Structure 1
């Protein structure tokens, strides 16, 4: 291990990684890059190209991978991101670093470029990112994707009973799905001020088990747009401040109460959210799973409350 730490290529790769990944993080803070292919794809590829261009690269790739992981983990410490998002980002960024590295090695094999350890040359691959990031950010018009997640469950209670139990919830405390046991925000209570159109319903959250003390805490405030006991509770989200998840937004929350069977109710929960993360094929399945597990947690608590109140 000491030999690795003393290796010049290992040390140089750490410097390059801090500069490349650090530039991406700074661009995020300055609003000069989107959560897109440019950040998650182009930046790690050009970093891999820079590492592959090094004249001596015995431990360089390892230095880059280790430093990248450590830098992404540091984003978690101040509550800027969660464990799940960091793991997902690592799973996307590391393969692209390796891709850039392999491309350069193949090009060098055919003597199209020569290896170098000059920092002035190794910084050159960063230029495409410096140009592409702000260009995409300021020219891209459609930054958000709107997604709908629907969950259904049948409760052996009447629609009116289910409605009365879900409209306001003093305390949510039930079996938590897997992602909520990590660091997804956990709803603790929801308060509906009045049963009328225009009324506000506020849901309060706390951080998950692996979160920082206040990470994930916050509120979602909804305005009722349609309400009828035992039939529908429809709300537009007018404000949310779940710490650390600036790439997700919320637009609408709907509950439909449909009578089924002998006095039972099929509850349909629909959440409409927005996301700026791309590539969509990579991020969307996890986003939907997270929302779905939030639904499951609320439904688990609802089942418990109904049993406590009505004894079935």
Structure 2
């Protein structure tokens, strides 16, 4: 029997098998290139959408067209998470969102529009809202069992329109409502009430150990100058990022120093206002003093259950810094 036909058949089989591998390799390579291109496209689009949403939202906020409420801090990031949760490569799109957030916050800080503390305090709320939006969309896709690819740009139009609608409605209903909050701190000092009063009424230089938030960028008081020691007199406290001007409304040496805030300027904190500053001096049985510092401020931030504890921490750290400097000054003046 002639072996040539068998050899030819075997050779042709190898060639056909090899050609089949080449075709499959080409198909895989083409699919990979398409997938990579699609990933890059979605990554870029996610950055564009995120920066557009964040920038327009903050512009409306900065120019007081909308308020610091649920629409900005919750619905806007929720909408972004929901939109980018639509993408076929969700992880890539969410990375694009993370990079966009980083760029956005860096620009806010560099431009002096907001401080580091404000940004850090807002981050948990924003991240939770984004994650919730992405989770809701993933659940909807899972329930519908749909692998249909969504056009991210087209799918972002409706959520942004809803954001604008909710923001304007919320602003109209609240009318930039300001919440008035009082924060009280106390300290026991082994000095007479008059000594404590004389030391705190006017401070040439504040220099003490800074609490954690001040090491970031919470406003640091540098000095407080009392112009006239009488009702109607002005006391100006200077900060690294501005100043607060106070007018004395009640004064009894060693008893009470009560002041209304008549002017303030602090970097990037339009949502925060100051109304009143009070020092109370109570003599103790041992001759020492319990000094109470009361700050009354206003805030436009919502939701209150989230922001109020954070605001309280910030004010208390300001008090802590002033108390630390006061103890140092009293020790330098009177010993002990």
Task: Quickly say closer, same or farther: Cα 1:254–1:118, change in 2 above 3 A.
Answer: closer
State how far apart, in whole Å, the 2-side matches of 1:102 and 1:162 are: 56
In the TM superposition, 1:279-298 aligns within 5 A as 279-298=303-322
Equivalent residue in structure 1 for 2:227, among 193, 204, 213: 193
Equivalent residue in structure 1 for 2:188, among 128, 137, 154: 154
Corresponding residue for 1:28?
Answer: 61
Quote the offset at 1:194 in angstroms. 1.4
Aligned 8 A contact 2:197 2:253 in 1: yes
* TM-superposition CA deviations, 1:33-90 (whole Å, max 9, x none): 1111100110111111211223443511221122123212321111111111111222
- Indicate the SS of the match to 2:246: strand
Deviates more, 1:63-72 or 1:235-244: 63-72
Corresponding residue for 2:42?
Answer: 9
The question of 1:228 aligning with 2:252 is answered yes
- Indicate the SS of the match to 2:76: helix
Corresponding residue for 2:26?
Answer: none
Corresponding residue for 1:256?
Answer: 280
State how far apart, in whole Å, the 2-side matches of 1:159 and 1:90 are: 43
Equivalent residue in structure 2 for 1:271, among 255, 272, 295: 295
Aligned 8 A contact 2:176 2:300 in 1: no
The question of 1:85 aligning with 2:118 is answered yes
Task: Quickly say closer, same or farther: Cα 1:112–1:236, change in 2 above 3 A.
Answer: farther
Deviates more, 1:102-111 or 1:240-249: 102-111
State how far apart, in whole Å, the 2-side matches of 1:99 and 1:176 are: 36
Quote the offset at 1:227 in angstroms. 0.3
Quote the offset at 1:4 in angstroms. 9.8
State how far apart, in whole Å, the 2-side matches of 1:53 and 1:96 are: 16
Task: Quickly say closer, same or farther: Cα 1:58–1:164, change in 2 above 3 A.
Answer: closer
Quote the offset at 1:121 in angstroms. 3.1
State how far apart, in whole Å, the 2-side matches of 1:24 and 1:199 are: 42
* TM-superposition CA deviations, 1:269-292 (whole Å, max 9, x none): 100111111111211112111111
- Indicate the SS of the match to 1:258: strand
State how far apart, in whole Å, the 2-side matches of 1:267 and 1:5 are: 65
Task: Quickly say closer, same or farther: Cα 1:268–1:31, change in 2 above 3 A.
Answer: same
In the TM superposition, 1:54-73 aligns within 5 A as 54-73=87-106
Instruction: Calculate the TM-score normalised by the size of structure 1.
Output: 0.91
Larger proportion of helix? 2
- Give structure 2 stretches of 5+ with no counterpart: 1-35
Quote the offset at 1:102 in angstroms. 1.4
The question of 1:49 aligning with 2:82 is answered yes
Instruction: Calculate the TM-score normalised by the size of structure 2.
Output: 0.85
Task: Quickly say closer, same or farther: Cα 1:294–1:56, change in 2 above 3 A.
Answer: closer
Aligned 8 A contact 2:67 2:176 in 1: no
State the aligned residue count.
300
Task: Quickly say closer, same or farther: Cα 1:222–1:48, change in 2 above 3 A.
Answer: same
- Indicate the SS of the match to 2:90: coil
Equivalent residue in structure 2 for 1:132, among 166, 171, 190: 166
Corresponding residue for 1:97?
Answer: 130
Deviates more, 1:179-188 or 1:26-35: 26-35
State how far apart, in whole Å, the 2-side matches of 1:112 and 1:130 are: 31
Quote the offset at 1:142 in angstroms. 6.1
The question of 1:119 aligning with 2:143 is answered no
Quote the offset at 1:5 in angstroms. 10
State how far apart, in whole Å, the 1-side matches of 2:71 and 2:214 are: 30
Larger Rg: 2
Aligned 8 A contact 1:253 1:269 in 2: yes
State how far apart, in whole Å, the 1-side matches of 2:71 and 2:205 are: 43
State how far apart, in whole Å, the 1-side matches of 2:234 and 2:180 are: 23
Corresponding residue for 1:306?
Answer: 330
